[in-house]
Chain A
Amino acid sequence: MRLCAKVRRADSILKPVEVLEYAGLLRWLPSCPRRDSVYYLDRRCVRKSASGDLSETKRVIQFLEPEESAHVSRGSLLLRMELPSDPEMLCVVRNALSELAAKLGFSEAECRAVVLAVDEAMTNIIRHAYLGDAERPIEASFRRIHVARDGQSKDALEIVLEDRGVTANPEKLCGRALEDVRPGGLGLHFIRQSMDTVEFSRRWGRNQLRLVKFLHTQRPEKGS
């Protein structure tokens, strides 16, 4: 199997500093800091042969921060919730998030989109990660972050949902064709349509879903 990956420093994003083959990547990874690393793996550069097995590469990718994270400040924590995986709790999260998104300056339509995305994500956790068990933990954190994008610094709402359920099936994460009219399978489509960034990872026995929605309105200047 031949795999190659471009490994780049976050501060030289436009210029790859190293190109490693798969064996080199595995040698390099043990020395790679995990979280808060200045390195990241550009997953779009990962290739595999027809008979190749990507499972090991998927494992190592999970140790690394996604591309956007390298350009994101940790921002300020706005809200953190720890909830049981009980469908009755969904309305609690929706109500809190709706208020939070409105306070941040999202439009009414954007607030509805964010609420729908988080509700669908939590529904997926309850149904697929916890298989309907209503007493497992879900952690949700909401931060205001600043993201460097297209040469500009943008404010955004970052939502991270974590669960300790079964690993999500990557094939199911692809959603389904909407032309296929049948009940179910719409949740992921709603999430992707509603948010600007949707990233799934599994770390240390936890599923983590990171959702980002950019704020299009500017914060009022202090004192104005």
Chain B
Amino acid sequence: MQIAARHLDKITILDISGDIDLATSPELRKALLRELRELKTARVVLNLAAVRYIDSSGVASLVEGLKASRDVGSRLILFGLNRTVREVLQLSKLVKIFEICENEEQSVAP
């Protein structure tokens, strides 16, 4: 898995690619918590279009990021959900708790 960060004003976009599993999810968790808890970024956007695979440990990292965003009063937004990611989120019944946008333009809109 690779994570590349882009910054737009008070928004950070994390472009994630590859597989999110037990080996890589701690890195995603760390990146999310750093943006939300340490840097207090007002809006963190995750671009998941290039994610090939995600498992329950990856979903757990997303949930932890969501909880952190609620704690600090910021927003965590997901976009670019491909079939694999969407299926796993639907299976977890957690798809409704996340703020999900169709594309990057929507996710950074005021």
Q: Which residues of B contact A76 (CB under 8 A)?
A: none
Asked if A184 lies at the interface with its beta carbon under 8 angstroms from chain B, I say yes
Asked if B4 lies at the interface with its beta carbon under 8 angstroms from chain A, I say no
Asked if B47 lies at the interface with its beta carbon under 8 angstroms from chain A, I say no
Contacts A123-B57, A181-B63, A187-B56; A90 near B91 (Cβ below 8 A): no
Per-residue CB contact flags for chain A residues 123-143 toward chain B (1 = under 8 Å, else 0) read: 100110000000000000000
How far, in whole Å, are A116 and B56 apart by their CA atoms in the complex?
A: 9
Asked if B60 lies at the interface with its beta carbon under 8 angstroms from chain A, I say yes
Closest to B66 in A: A181
- Within 8 Å by CB of A186, from B53, B87, B92, B97, lies B92
Per-residue CB contact flags for chain B residues 81-110 toward chain A (1 = under 8 Å, else 0) read: 000100110011110010000000000000
How far, in whole Å, are A190 and B56 apart by their CA atoms in the complex?
A: 8
Q: Are B53 and A183 in contact (CB under 8 A)?
A: no
Asked if B61 lies at the interface with its beta carbon under 8 angstroms from chain A, I say yes
A84 CB, nearest partner CB in chain B, Å: 13
Asked if A182 lies at the interface with its beta carbon under 8 angstroms from chain B, I say yes
Contacts A178-B92, A186-B56, A193-B91; A123 near B22 (Cβ below 8 A): yes
Q: Which residues of B contact A120 (CB under 8 A)?
A: 55-56
Asked if A119 lies at the interface with its beta carbon under 8 angstroms from chain B, I say yes
How far, in whole Å, are A194 and B93 apart by their CA atoms in the complex?
A: 14
Asked if B78 lies at the interface with its beta carbon under 8 angstroms from chain A, I say no
Per-residue CB contact flags for chain A residues 81-94 toward chain B (1 = under 8 Å, else 0) read: 00000011011001
Closest to B18 in A: A91
Q: How many residues of chain A are within 8 Å of chain B by beta carbon? A: 25
Q: Which residues of B contact A90 (CB under 8 A)?
A: 21-23
B100 CB, nearest partner CB in chain A, Å: 15
Asked if A6 lies at the interface with its beta carbon under 8 angstroms from chain B, I say no
Asked if A164 lies at the interface with its beta carbon under 8 angstroms from chain B, I say no
Q: Are A183 and B63 in contact (CB under 8 A)?
A: yes
Asked if B45 lies at the interface with its beta carbon under 8 angstroms from chain A, I say no
The interface residues of chain A, by DSSP majority, are classed as helix
How far, in whole Å, are A183 and B60 apart by their CA atoms in the complex?
A: 4
Contacts A112-B84, A181-B94; A186 near B23 (Cβ below 8 A): no
Closest to A94 in B: B53
Q: Which residues of A contact B87 (CB under 8 A)?
A: 109, 112
Q: Which residues of A contact B13 (CB under 8 A)?
A: none
Q: Which residues of A contact B53 (CB under 8 A)?
A: 91, 94, 115, 119
How far, in whole Å, are A186 and B61 apart by their CA atoms in the complex?
A: 12
Q: Which residues of B contact A190 (CB under 8 A)?
A: 55-56, 88, 91-92
Q: Are B55 and A116 in contact (CB under 8 A)?
A: yes
Contacts A94-B53, A181-B94, A186-B92; A127 near B63 (Cβ below 8 A): no
> 25 A-B contacts, Cβ less than 8 Å apart?
A87-B21, A90-B22, A91-B19, A91-B21, A94-B19, A94-B53, A112-B84, A119-B21, A120-B56, A123-B21, A123-B56, A123-B57, A127-B22, A178-B92, A178-B93, A181-B63, A181-B94, A183-B60, A183-B61, A184-B56, A186-B60, A187-B55, A189-B56, A189-B92, A190-B91
